[in-house]
Structure 1
Amino acid sequence: MNGYTKVQLQENKKYLELLSQSFPNITSAVGEVVNLKAILNLPKGTEHFLTDIHGEHEAFNHVMQNASGAIKRKVHQELGNTIAFEDLEELSTLIYYPEQKIDLIKKERSQESLDNWYKLTIYRLVKVCRAAASKYTRSKVRKALPKDFAYIMEELLQEDEHRFNKREYYQEIIESLVKLERAQHFIVEISGVIKRLTIDHLHIIGDIYDRGAGPDEVMDTLMRHHSLDMQWGNHDILWMGAAAGNAACIANAVRIALRYANMDVLENGYGINLLPLASFANRVYSDDPCAKFTPKLSDNHSVSDQEISLMAKMHKAIAIIQFKLEEVLIDNHPDYHMEKRQLLRCIDFENKTVTVEGIVYPLNDTNFPTLDPDSPYTLTEEENLVIDRLIYAFLHSEKLQKHIRFMYAKGSMYKVFNSNLLFHACLLINADGSFKAKEIAGKKYAGKNLMDKFDQMAREAYFGQTDKDNNQTRTDFLWFLWCHEDSPLFGKDKMATFERYFIDDKEPHKERYAPFYLLIDDDDELAKRILVEFGVDPEEGHLINGHIPVKATSGESPIRAKGKQLVIDGGFAKAYQKTTGIAGYTLTYNSYGLILISHDPFESVEKAIADGVDIKSTLMVVEKSTERKRVRDTDTGKALMNQVEDLEMLITAYRKGLIKEKQF
């Protein structure tokens, strides 16, 4: 215990008096110190990192259920020497999807056979659960247990089934669960406990939204998770801007949903009424096939030709509205310096060309019934009505607002966690490797200070707007973060949406990466400077991000900067899988080190349940600790050590008579 002087105790007396309310005597304070010091020596809990989910809720849900293979590894480690491989696989699938798997097994077995299966399965699940719980205190495990079975589970987890005096007691608990027809419910609940205890904390490193069909379902799952944080991606910030009522963000979000035929996300997921847009588009583009706007359909989409035609028309209509809104937004923000992106003004309607960065290109589509050549950025009366109704729908979507508030509560521009720096895309870096400065309201920011400022501005854009404020451009900053070359969530020189739609030449489609990406690959010195800037030990820490899909088929590696950077976007989104060759990377960080996992495409939940078809995953040990990491080596451990120090000071104050014991 530290030798505190009377001066130190006197300086902290007010705080110690408050602390004494929770620990009213020496005995209670000593007991807590003993408890905390014991916790510090437990193994570090497992962290799970995912990024760039892009609405692929089925694949995301499966990776969540199997904890990137950690559940299966735990099953094999605990039971691999005692039961057959097929039974290990079946037990793993059962833990992932207990209700569905039990329903299937019930159809295949007689009642007597089923009862025997229940007993054996409960016995095996308890052993796996006991292994998962072994790195936590009884108190933490107790909090993870479901109310209905808390007492029974605690007894089974704490007792050894081989102990002579308790053997019959242990067996009778399992027998009674089966006889009283509670076995199925118990299996479902203990499977949930195993999953919860296997992963201590979840990191989502951006881009939950866009492209896939179920971002709302992903958000529902995350809101049920026991411990997580998020780092915003540019697609998330787009939806945050849409939820804040920013017209340009709304138009982008609707356009992307139509591009990937995901109207259900808007209409059924969030209750956004698209009828005004559909009616407008069907009338204005009635004779236009809108071929360049045909939606990208995944294999599981089942839509008629008529639906495809309508979506293409809606897609073109909202794209034109988006370009108009963005041109006006750029006019309102000369500080953005984005005049080169006002491409509607660069159209030569007579010659059917457009000038992009000084080069003239022919247009592949010249049907612009809503563009006035003299003022191409002005919305027509009908377009204004369409966007006004969409703004109202986004602002009044209860589910969307709930999801976005959760994203603000759990999310941030970056996070430092257990000596790792997590961010979605990049940091603003100059070509010489120095931190790029941005001037905001007359003050310059760079590095960590800039990320902190952007974080504050993103929150103000959503929460700061009031009826009295009347600042219509506050939410525009969220659009800036979506697509500006100086956005650390975007990291490219432009978003070439217009060029991809209207110019066949591929050259203007290119989006050039920010200096961060050009410098970081083989430069661990830059990575270390970044870690130091954010207060992370450069020898121990890593940069962990996503955003740019790693093209595994082309030989790209997710491990960069000589092992100091891990890029874990491998293509969760089906739209990227042809390019990446895989279906995503995930990362786990347990007490033994960092493990990178690459995943093959997920087939289906039905295949997983019926045939035990798991995602095929490949493990790569990125970094192995020479000594097992303990709680004391984590951020939580540092906080606990501070609590120990405070309590030891309180004990000294009691013993020196500076503070009186409150109870005996």
Structure 2
Amino acid sequence: MATHYDIEQDMRYLQLLANSFPTIADASTEIINLRAIMNLPKGTEHFLADIHGEYEAFQHVLKNASGNIKRKVNELFGNTLREAEKRELCTLIYYPEQKLELVKATESDLNDWYHITIHQLVAICRDVSSKYTRSKVRKSLPAEFSYIIQELLHERTEDTNKTAYVNVIIDTIISIGRADDFIVAIANVIQRLAIDQLHILGDIYDRGPGAHIIMDTMANYHSWDIQWGNHDMLWMGACAGNDACICNVIRLSLRYANLATLEEGYGINLVPLATFAMECYGDDPCEEFQPHMNGGATQMDDKTKRLTAQMHKAIAIIQFKEEAKIYERHPEWGMQDRELFKNVDFEHGTITLDGKEYEMRSNNFPTINPKHPNELTFEEKTLMGKLHHSFMISEKLHKHMRLMLRHGCMYAVYNNNLLFHASIPLNDDGSLKEVEIYPGHSYSGQKLMHHTGMMIRTAFQSDSEDAEKQYAIDYFLYLWCGPNSPLFDKSKMATFERYFIADKATWHEEKGNYFKLRDNEEVVDRILNSFHVTGPNRHIINGHVPVHVANGENPIKAGGKLMVIDGGFSQAYHKETGIAGYTLVYHSRGLQLVQHEPFTSAADAIQRGTDIKSTTQIVELSAHRMLVADTDKGQELRQQIDDLQELLYAYRHGFIKEQERKK
């Protein structure tokens, strides 16, 4: 109970609170409401990582809620519908507009189908909405059908007094020609309510063809957050004006033959690069730069593949030069050893690494001056000016990066789960490693992630000091490939070696200690303590490194305290991992890891009713059904209730006078 002293201390805050709850009745009603909310079941959280532009698979997982909607349909209609009928109903929920067109082309008694189907959809919607307040459900409804859906959700045909009422509503929807629109609306509501909060653990970008489509989807999504990944960071760096990041973004797009995001999504003009590449490398087979066959290269003709390879080589050479300029500017990073053109004997076509000489796979470098190998030619400078300008004026790219900043951070803690993309740098003994991110300023653990996030935001602040902002822009490159970057955490990024040296021993990238020690419970506990994550059921959840399921690797580590949910959404990883991604689902009864098989296509799902085949593994079951009271939201509501009780005390003891309600 509030005291006289407490009230005097908090008077300014209580005066503000009184504007929202001007009477004792208002404050009392809100306390009743909040206490009731705390006893609802916990909302369902979904965790995804490393989507890498695979927009069709990503959107399908959102639509089917990682199999949650299919499970609901089975629970409701398991003994009353055939498997084919349940499959058709699920497909209708996932793709209502497209499925309706197919149904209308084949169904002989459409009105009867409408009547049965709408009843089924209402039953499913009632089930998925049951864990939310009426207010929250109402806010998720489309305006044009809000009243009708509310009536159908809260009235049942089992109530004999309301049977005719409900049936007439549905019959009227059909008779006035609104059945299609209503079905689309209620299917979208079911999708919306099946996932309460979506967590993306990084890497929306690169490899796949539709990162921009994913970002468009997220722009309209009801509730989501992202912990930035190294590939997201690369695009953010390119958007901020880091030329080395711009080169990397273009190079990766060419390597995987997926230019749709660059050209169609963001309007980046690659014609100057194509012209330059044909002039410089017209007679070069560019064999080591052929596009990756797991990308879009299988759909290319030979002429296009050749041009892609030439562009790929041209931008890679410029990239290595641009990176060298940044390494020279920042010797404190200790990355000048990655200026590998300085180690090349261009006359003999060899390179010396760690005292050992290797033969180069090719030695055609028409734009390199052996005496000054890291200098751009006039033509390369001109080209980079055009590419830089194209990135700077892309309105949609900047819109999407602002979305990344608004919903993103380096890490997050939700309901005793610590979320980040890749790693927390560690020393050999598993202790938290101090990493210098500003000259003379080193941090570890939570402080490292916090200050890294602050630096990233500095790069986009118009009021930042020029030197501070330029350092932040440069730092995107370190976050992409720096040995102590929490988004990379390897000894090196062996891009140069993979292109130009046949000896695969030079390709080795030694993983940081986090990846070596993350199965150790003591180390995981130390990290969780650093981030002040408490409670008996606390976890680290991250992605970044694909789990090799085909080789028997387990995504659950450290006695269940750490989960790696990168199962390879990207087609480029399917052979390597043996699956096509994970989704972690955290609902009121516990944690479930859903393992997905490769997705064919949305068209196949619509035509044949195919779904992503998923296998669910129970990670952790709760001893009791978790309520809102057991979550972070519950803690917030408790504080709000305490504040409102102080307000009641202030009203009743005359510290604050009740106000008249505004009419």
Matches within 5 A, 1:222-261: 222-261=218-257
Tell me, yes or no, if structure 1 residue 269 matches structure 2 residue 265: yes
Could you tell me which residue of structure 1 aligns to residue 634 of structure 2? 637
Contact residue 128 and residue 193 of structure 2 kept, 8 A? yes
Could you tell me which residue of structure 2 aligns to residue 55 of structure 1? 53
Matches within 5 A, 1:528-547: 528-537=525-534, 539-547=536-544
CA-CA distance at 1:350 after TM superposition: 2.1
Could you tell me which residue of structure 1 aligns to residue 194 of structure 2? 198
Matches within 5 A, 1:294-313: 294-298=290-294, 301-313=298-310
What is the rounded CA distance, in whole Å, between the counterparts of 2:191 and 2:469 in structure 1?
46
- 2:299 aligned counterpart, secondary structure: coil
Task: Evaluate the alpha carbon distance shift between residue 615 and residue 240 of structure 1 in structure 2; reply closer, same or farther with a 3 A threshold.
Answer: same
Match of 1:114 among 85, 110, 115: 110
CA-CA distance at 1:639 after TM superposition: 0.8
What is the rounded CA distance, in whole Å, between the counterparts of 1:402 and 1:96 in structure 2?
28
Contact residue 414 and residue 422 of structure 1 kept, 8 A? yes
Matches within 5 A, 1:374-413: 374-413=371-410
- 1:662 aligned counterpart, secondary structure: coil
Contact residue 465 and residue 471 of structure 1 kept, 8 A? no
Matches within 5 A, 1:93-172: 93-110=91-108, 113-172=109-168
What is the rounded CA distance, in whole Å, between the counterparts of 2:105 and 2:294 in structure 1?
33
Could you tell me which residue of structure 2 aligns to residue 45 of structure 1? 43
Could you tell me which residue of structure 2 aligns to residue 372 of structure 1? 369
Task: Evaluate the alpha carbon distance shift between residue 97 and residue 489 of structure 1 in structure 2; reply closer, same or farther with a 3 A threshold.
Answer: same
Contact residue 593 and residue 619 of structure 2 kept, 8 A? yes
Q: Deviations over 1:576-605 (max 9, x none)?
A: 111100001111000000000111111111
Match of 1:613 among 592, 610, 613: 610
Gaps of 5+ in 2: none
CA-CA distance at 1:357 after TM superposition: 3.0
Q: Deviations over 1:160-191 (max 9, x none)?
A: 11211111110001001111111011111100
Could you tell me which residue of structure 2 aligns to residue 320 of structure 1? 317
Match of 1:628 among 625, 628, 631: 625
What is the rounded CA distance, in whole Å, between the counterparts of 2:446 and 2:464 in structure 1?
29
What is the rounded CA distance, in whole Å, between the counterparts of 2:503 and 2:246 in structure 1?
28
CA-CA distance at 1:438 after TM superposition: 2.1
Contact residue 461 and residue 477 of structure 1 kept, 8 A? no
What is the rounded CA distance, in whole Å, between the counterparts of 2:201 and 2:307 in structure 1?
35
Contact residue 48 and residue 586 of structure 1 kept, 8 A? yes
Contact residue 458 and residue 464 of structure 2 kept, 8 A? no
Contact residue 528 and residue 539 of structure 1 kept, 8 A? no
What is the rounded CA distance, in whole Å, between the counterparts of 2:12 and 2:266 in structure 1?
50
Contact residue 571 and residue 577 of structure 1 kept, 8 A? yes
What is the rounded CA distance, in whole Å, between the counterparts of 2:633 and 2:644 in structure 1?
17
Matches within 5 A, 1:64-83: 64-83=62-81
Gaps of 5+ in 1: none
Contact residue 532 and residue 538 of structure 1 kept, 8 A? no
Contact residue 485 and residue 494 of structure 1 kept, 8 A? yes
Match of 2:31 among 24, 30, 33: 33
- 1:400 aligned counterpart, secondary structure: helix
Contact residue 570 and residue 580 of structure 1 kept, 8 A? yes
What is the rounded CA distance, in whole Å, between the counterparts of 1:156 and 1:80 in structure 2?
22
Match of 2:209 among 210, 213, 234: 213
Partner AA of 2:278 in structure 1: N
CA-CA distance at 1:636 after TM superposition: 1.1
Which 4+ runs in 1 deviate beyond 3 A? 297-301, 464-474
Matches within 5 A, 1:529-608: 529-537=526-534, 539-608=536-605
TM-score, L = length of structure 1: 0.98
Tell me, yes or no, if structure 1 residue 496 matches structure 2 residue 505: no
Contact residue 531 and residue 538 of structure 1 kept, 8 A? no
CA-CA distance at 1:355 after TM superposition: 1.7
Could you tell me which residue of structure 1 aligns to residue 288 of structure 2? 292
Match of 1:336 among 322, 333, 336: 333
Partner AA of 1:79 in structure 2: F
What is the rounded CA distance, in whole Å, between the counterparts of 1:201 and 1:359 in structure 2?
53
Partner AA of 2:202 in structure 1: G
Task: Evaluate the alpha carbon distance shift between residue 309 and residue 534 of structure 1 in structure 2; reply closer, same or farther with a 3 A threshold.
Answer: same
What is the rounded CA distance, in whole Å, between the counterparts of 1:418 and 1:630 in structure 2?
12
Match of 2:184 among 181, 188, 203: 188
Identity of aligned residues (%): 51
